[in-house]
Structure 1
Amino acid sequence: MATATRVKVTEDESMLTSLVRRITSSSERDGWQEPVLPGQLTLTIVVAGASGDLAKKKTYPALCFLYQHGFLCSNVRIVGYARTDLSDQALRDKLRPFLKNTPEDKREAFLATCSYVSGPYDTPHGWQRLAAVLDKRESATPKNPAGRLFYLALPPSVYPQVCRGLKEHCSSIATSSEPGRSWVRVVVEKPFGKDLQSSEDLAEHLGELYPEEQLYRIDHYLGKEMTQNMFVMRFANTFLSPLWSRTHVANVQITFKEDFGTQGRGGYFDEFGIIRDVIQNHLIQLLAFVGMEKPVSLHPDDIRDQKVQVLRCIKPPSLDNVVLGQYTAADGEDGYLDDPTVPQGSRTPTFASIVLYIDNDRWAGVPFIIKAGKALDERKAEIRIQLHETPHFIFAGESSSSRNELVVRLQPDEAIYMKFIVKKPGLDTEPVISELDLDYHSRYPDVIIPDAYPKLILDAIRGDQQHFVRRDELRAAWAIFTPLLHAVDAGEVPIHPYPYSSRGPEEADALRSRVGWVKNSKYDWKAKVDVPA
C-alpha cells in the first residue's frame, strides 16, 4: 500500500467531518445514564476559601450532610485552602458551630476528614504544598481511580489566579492505574461577571485553563427541590401539555421576596443590586424551566440546549416594562441608605419588577413578570401561572376575577397547588375558588428536604452537569439584562421608594395589571388544620 500523503482537507470534507462528529455526539447522548461513583475512588474535595463565610455557612454543612447520609465515598478527604493561618484543629473548631443539626458522632467523624493548608492565591508556594498533600494521599491507593473536586468558595475576582494555581500545580493525577477513570472538576460560585462583557472575559480566562466539561458553575436555585420538581411535573403529566402555551396561559409571575434588608452587607449588595444578585441568575433559570421545550433525553446537554434555546428567544426588556425601587425606613427599621456600608446617595435598586416576552410560537404575547425585592412584607419564592378566564362564564360574578392558577412554591414550605373554581357548599349555585393542594410537609412528613447545596455538590462529584450553568446559557442570560443594567448604572431608570415591610412600589402593581395579571378577588387562602382521624 502506498504511503499516505498529507492532503489539504477541502471545505466540504471539513463540514462533513463536523457533521459526523455532531451525529456521533448526539447518539452518545441517547445512551446516557445518570453517573454513579465507582466503588473504589480516592476522593479529595478541596475547598478554596475555607476560612470564609460561604465555606462555613454553606459548603462544609452541605458536605457534612452528604457524609452523614452516606453519599460520599468511604475514602474521602476534605482539604481546606485559604490565606488565613490555621491548624487542622482550628479549622474544625471554626466549623463545629455550623454543624449543629448533625448528630455528634457523625459530626466528629466528618470533622476528622477535614484538614487544612494555608497559602496565598497569587504565588505558587501554597499550591505546591497543596499538590504535595494530594499526591501523597493518592499514592497510598495507587490502583484506585482518583477524583479531585475543587470548590471555589471565593469572590470571582480571584478566580483567574486561583484556577491558574490549581491548573499548574494541582490538576495532574499520575498515581492511578486507571487514568481514564480519574478526574478533576472545578465548582465556581456566582456572580459570573457584572454584564455580558465581564462575564465573557471571566469565561475566557477560565476556559483557557479548564474545558467546559470540567467547569461547574453553581446556581443554588437549580438545586432546589421544587425547581427540579418543576421539570418533572411539566414533562411527566399529560394533562399539563395542552395547557402550557399562549392558548391557555394569560401570564406567568416569578417572584422572589425577602422580609429583611441588607443587614450590614450593603457594601457587597450595592456593587451588584437586585437584578444582578437575583434576577439575572436565579429567576431567569426558573423562567427557562417554565418556558423550555421537552428535551430529547435527560442528558445534561440536551436539557441545557433547550434552556439556551428559550433564553435566546427573549429580547431585552423595554424601560416601559421595568419598575425599580429602593426601600426606605419604616416601622422602626432602617432604610437602605441608612446602612453604613452603603455609599451615600446610592441609586442601587433593592427591588425590581421586569416584564419579559418569549418570542416563539408557544409563548408569543405572554408576559413573564419577574419580581424580586428585599425588605418586603414576607419571605417567599414562587412561580405562578395564571390561565385565561373561562369563556362564556355562565355563573354569577365576573369571569375575569375567577381564574385558574398553578402555583409552585419554592420557599418557605414547599408546595404545588392549583386554584380551581368549584361550587360553594349550600343550596345556591355560587362558584368559589378553592385549591388542589400538594403540601410537601403534610404529604411527605418523614422526608428531609435538604438545602440545594448538597444536591449540587453530589452532582459535581458524580459528574452530572444537568443542574449547572453552561457558558452559552450564561451568555444568553446576560444578553437579556445587560442593556437594562447599563441604563440603570447610567441613571436612566427611575428608582421608586417603598417602605420597609411593604409589598414594594405601587408602580409595580400598576405594571402587573397593565400587562394582564388579574387578582382573584374572591379567593381566600385557608390555613390547613389537623383533623382527628
Structure 2
Amino acid sequence: MPTEPAEPDPNASAANAAPLAGKRPAPPCTLVIFGAGGDLTKRLLMPALYNLSADGLLDDGMRIVGVNHGERETAEWRTELTESLRRFAADRASTFHTSQLDEKSWDWVVQRLQYFAGEFESDATFESLGQLLAQAPSGNVVFYLAVSARFFRPIVEHLGRAGLLKEERGNFRRIVIEKPFGTDLASARDLNAQILSYASEPQIYRIDHFLGKDTVQSILAVRFANALFEPMWRREYIDHVQITAAETIGVEARGGFYEQTGAFRDMVPNHLFQLLGMIAMEPPNSFDAETVRDKKAEVFDAIQPLAARDVVFGQYEKGPAGPGYREEPDVAPDSRTETYAAARVHIDNWRWAGVPFYVRTGKRLAARRTELCVQLKTVPFRLFRDTPVDRLTPNVLTLRIDPAHGTSFDFNVKVPGPVMQIGAAQSSFSYGDFFTERPNVGYETLLYDCMLGDETLFQRADSIETSWAVADPVLHPKDGPLPVHGYAAGSEGPAEADALLAADGRAWRSLSGTGQRN
C-alpha cells in the first residue's frame, strides 16, 4: 500500500536548471518503478533521474512511485536512496564529474518519491496502484520493470487486466522492459506474444543500456555525418570488423545468475548484436524511430544463423588475475558455463557479403575494453617490396566506447630520413579533449526518450526475435553442447578463439596493447 509523501516543494524545481541546448523537458508523468528496492533502481535509475533533474529535463509535474514487497515508509525509502546515491557519487566521481551531490537537484527528485508496498502477482496491488495513479497530477504513466525476468509476464498481465495500460484522453501508458528478453527464440516469441496481448508495440520499450551510451550513439554520427567514411563502408574496402566487450572483473556475486545464463546469452544476441546493427545498417533517410529500426531489422534479417564452427566458448581458470570461475560463490564445481564467447558472423547482403564480423566478450580478461574496430583491406605490397618493410600496418578505424571515449585511425607514413621506409602512425581523438562530458550512467537518454515517446534506441519485437533466431543453433546445437575451453584469468582469452581468426588469416586486436595479437 502507498505511504503518504510530503507535498513537493514548488521552489525545488528542475525548471530552475536551464535545460540543455536544443532539449525540452519531458512531459509530466508518473514513473512507476517495479523493484524499488533493487540494485538497478539504486545504482542506475536514481542516478539517471538525478542527472536529468540537474539538466532541467524533467517536468515539475513528475512523480516517482516505487513498488516493492515489504512495508516501509516513504521517508525511509528516500533516506536509503539518498545514502546510496552519496556513496555512488563518492565512488564514481568520474561518472558524476564530482564527488559531491548537487543537493538542490537531488532534493527535487526526493520530494517526488513515493513508496508503494505490494506483491507483483497480487490483484490487490494493481487495484490500489490504479487508485493512486488516478490521483496523480498527470495521466501519463511509465511502468519500469526493474525486476527479475520471471516477473515481466505477470506484471504486464496484471497491468492489462487492471486497465492500467489503457491510453485515454491523450495520455500515454508505456512499459519499459529490461533484458534478458527471453533466453532463446521460443521464449522470446512467447514473451512477445504474451505482452502484446495486453499492450501495443508502440507502448513497449525493450531497453538495452548499451544504446544509452553517448559513444554508442556516436557510431551513427561518425558513419553518416562524415563524407570520408560512408563511401568506403562496404565490402569493396573493408576486410573485416571486430566488436569487443571485455571485462577484467569476474562474475563477482552473480554466480547463481551466470550459471543459468552464460556469456553468450548475456551479451551476444543483445548488446553485441545491437552494436553490429549500428555498424552494418544501411543509411536511414532520417532519424525517425521506425526508419532507424527498420534499417537495423534488415541487418539482423540478413545475418546467417550461427554454426558451431563459428563460435568459441571459454571459461576462466585460476591465473594472474585471480581464482577460476568454478571457485566463485554459487558456481558448480564441475560447471560448463561459458564466461567467454567469440563468434564469426556473416551478413548476407550486397553491402557486406564476404566481410566477416568477429564479436567477443568475456570476464576476467587482460583489460576492460568495449570497442569496434573496422579494418580496411590491405593495399598492394609490390611498390614497397624493395624497401626495408616486410609488411604494412593495416588501416583500422577504432571506435572506443568504454572506458576510453573516442576514436583512432591506424595508417602508414614515411619514416623521416633518406631511405623510403614505412612506419606505423595513429591519429586519435578523445571526447574529453573537445567536449565537456556530462555526468552519465547510460540510462539518462533512454529514460528521457521513453518519456518523450522516442523509440529509436529501443528494440522492436521483430528484431529481438531475429537476433535470437541467429543465436538459436548455438543454444540448441544438434550435435550436443559446444566445448568450453579454459583460459587463465587475466589473459586475452582461449587459444581456440585465436584459431577462429587464424583460420581466416586474421588476428584479434590486442586487449593489453595496440595492434594485432601475434
Alignment TM-score > 0.5, same fold: yes
Q: Which range moves more in the overlay, 335-344 or 257-266? A: 335-344
Aligned partner of 1:456 in structure 2 is 446
1:146 aligns with 2:139: yes
CA drift of 1:518 comes to: 4.8
> Within 2, Cα distance between the matches of 1:517 and 1:49?
46
> Within 2, Cα distance between the matches of 1:519 and 1:414?
20
Could you tell me which amino acid in structure 1 is paired with residue 192 of structure 2?
A
Could you tell me which amino acid in structure 2 is paired with residue 453 of structure 1?
Y
Alignment of 1:134-533 (within 5 A): 134-138=133-137, 146-169=139-162, 171=164, 179-180=169-170, 182-331=171-320, 333-395=322-384, 396=387, 400-444=391-435, 446-448=436-438, 450-487=440-477, 491-518=480-507
Could you tell me which amino acid in structure 2 is paired with residue 448 of structure 1?
R
Tell me, yes or no, if the aligned pair for 2:392 and 2:412 is still in contact at 8 Å: no
> Relative to 1, partners in 2 of residues 1:272 and 1:518: Cα closer, same or farther, differing over 3 Å?
closer
> Within 1, Cα distance between the matches of 2:321 and 2:357?
35
CA drift of 1:495 comes to: 0.8
Secondary structure of 1:209's match?
A: coil
Tell me, yes or no, if the aligned pair for 1:380 and 1:411 is still in contact at 8 Å: yes
Aligned partner of 2:109 in structure 1 is 110
Q: 2:56 aligns with which of 70, 82, 85?
A: 70
Cα deviation code 1:187-236 (max 9, x no counterpart):
00000011000011111111011100000000011111121111121112
Tell me, yes or no, if the aligned pair for 1:146 and 1:173 is still in contact at 8 Å: no
> Relative to 1, partners in 2 of residues 1:250 and 1:516: Cα closer, same or farther, differing over 3 Å?
farther
> Within 2, Cα distance between the matches of 1:93 and 1:147?
27
CA drift of 1:402 comes to: 1.5
Tell me, yes or no, if the aligned pair for 2:262 and 2:339 is still in contact at 8 Å: yes
Matched length:
478
Could you tell me which amino acid in structure 1 is paired with residue 437 of structure 2?
V
CA drift of 1:165 comes to: 2.1
> Relative to 1, partners in 2 of residues 1:271 and 1:518: Cα closer, same or farther, differing over 3 Å?
closer
Fraction of identical pairs, as percent: 33
Tell me, yes or no, if the aligned pair for 2:165 and 2:174 is still in contact at 8 Å: no
> Relative to 1, partners in 2 of residues 1:235 and 1:412: Cα closer, same or farther, differing over 3 Å?
same
> Relative to 1, partners in 2 of residues 1:380 and 1:269: Cα closer, same or farther, differing over 3 Å?
same
CA drift of 1:413 comes to: 1.6
Cα deviation code 1:399-453 (max 9, x no counterpart):
7541100000100121111112112234433211212211112222x33152221
Could you tell me which amino acid in structure 2 is paired with residue 44 of structure 1?
T
Tell me, yes or no, if the aligned pair for 1:250 and 1:517 is still in contact at 8 Å: no
Could you tell me which amino acid in structure 2 is paired with residue 104 of structure 1?
E
Aligned partner of 1:11 in structure 2 is none
Aligned partner of 1:130 in structure 2 is 129
CA drift of 1:274 comes to: 0.6
> Relative to 1, partners in 2 of residues 1:398 and 1:495: Cα closer, same or farther, differing over 3 Å?
farther
CA drift of 1:397 comes to: 5.2
> Within 1, Cα distance between the matches of 2:225 and 2:450?
25
> Relative to 1, partners in 2 of residues 1:35 and 1:111: Cα closer, same or farther, differing over 3 Å?
closer
> Relative to 1, partners in 2 of residues 1:367 and 1:399: Cα closer, same or farther, differing over 3 Å?
farther
Tell me, yes or no, if the aligned pair for 1:389 and 1:399 is still in contact at 8 Å: no
Q: Which has the higher helix share?
A: 1
Tell me, yes or no, if the aligned pair for 1:127 and 1:170 is still in contact at 8 Å: no
Give me the TM-score of the superposition, normalised by structure 2: 0.88
> Within 2, Cα distance between the matches of 1:170 and 1:117?
19
Tell me, yes or no, if the aligned pair for 2:52 and 2:444 is still in contact at 8 Å: yes
Cα deviation code 1:477-524 (max 9, x no counterpart):
001001101129x74311110010110101111212222425799x98
> Within 1, Cα distance between the matches of 2:304 and 2:509?
30
Cα deviation code 1:68-120 (max 9, x no counterpart):
21111111111100112221011112211332233123223321111110011
Could you tell me which amino acid in structure 1 is paired with residue 135 of structure 2?
K
Tell me, yes or no, if the aligned pair for 1:249 and 1:386 is still in contact at 8 Å: yes
Aligned partner of 2:19 in structure 1 is none
> Within 2, Cα distance between the matches of 1:524 and 1:172?
51
> Relative to 1, partners in 2 of residues 1:459 and 1:249: Cα closer, same or farther, differing over 3 Å?
same
Cα deviation code 1:133-153 (max 9, x no counterpart):
211123xxxxxx631111110
CA drift of 1:51 comes to: 0.7
Tell me, yes or no, if the aligned pair for 1:402 and 1:520 is still in contact at 8 Å: no
> Within 2, Cα distance between the matches of 1:315 and 1:399?
36
Cα deviation code 1:146-191 (max 9, x no counterpart):
31111110112111111122223362679x8xx12x1111100000
> Within 2, Cα distance between the matches of 1:80 and 1:123?
16
Tell me, yes or no, if the aligned pair for 2:25 and 2:58 is still in contact at 8 Å: no
Could you tell me which amino acid in structure 1 is paired with residue 199 of structure 2?
Y
Tell me, yes or no, if the aligned pair for 1:401 and 1:518 is still in contact at 8 Å: no
> Within 2, Cα distance between the matches of 1:525 and 1:250?
19
Aligned partner of 1:88 in structure 2 is 74
Unaligned segments of structure 1, at least 5 residues? 1-33, 139-144, 527-533
> Relative to 1, partners in 2 of residues 1:520 and 1:338: Cα closer, same or farther, differing over 3 Å?
closer
Could you tell me which amino acid in structure 2 is paired with residue 436 of structure 1?
S
CA drift of 1:36 comes to: 5.9
Unaligned segments of structure 2, at least 5 residues? 1-21, 90-100
Tell me, yes or no, if the aligned pair for 1:390 and 1:399 is still in contact at 8 Å: no
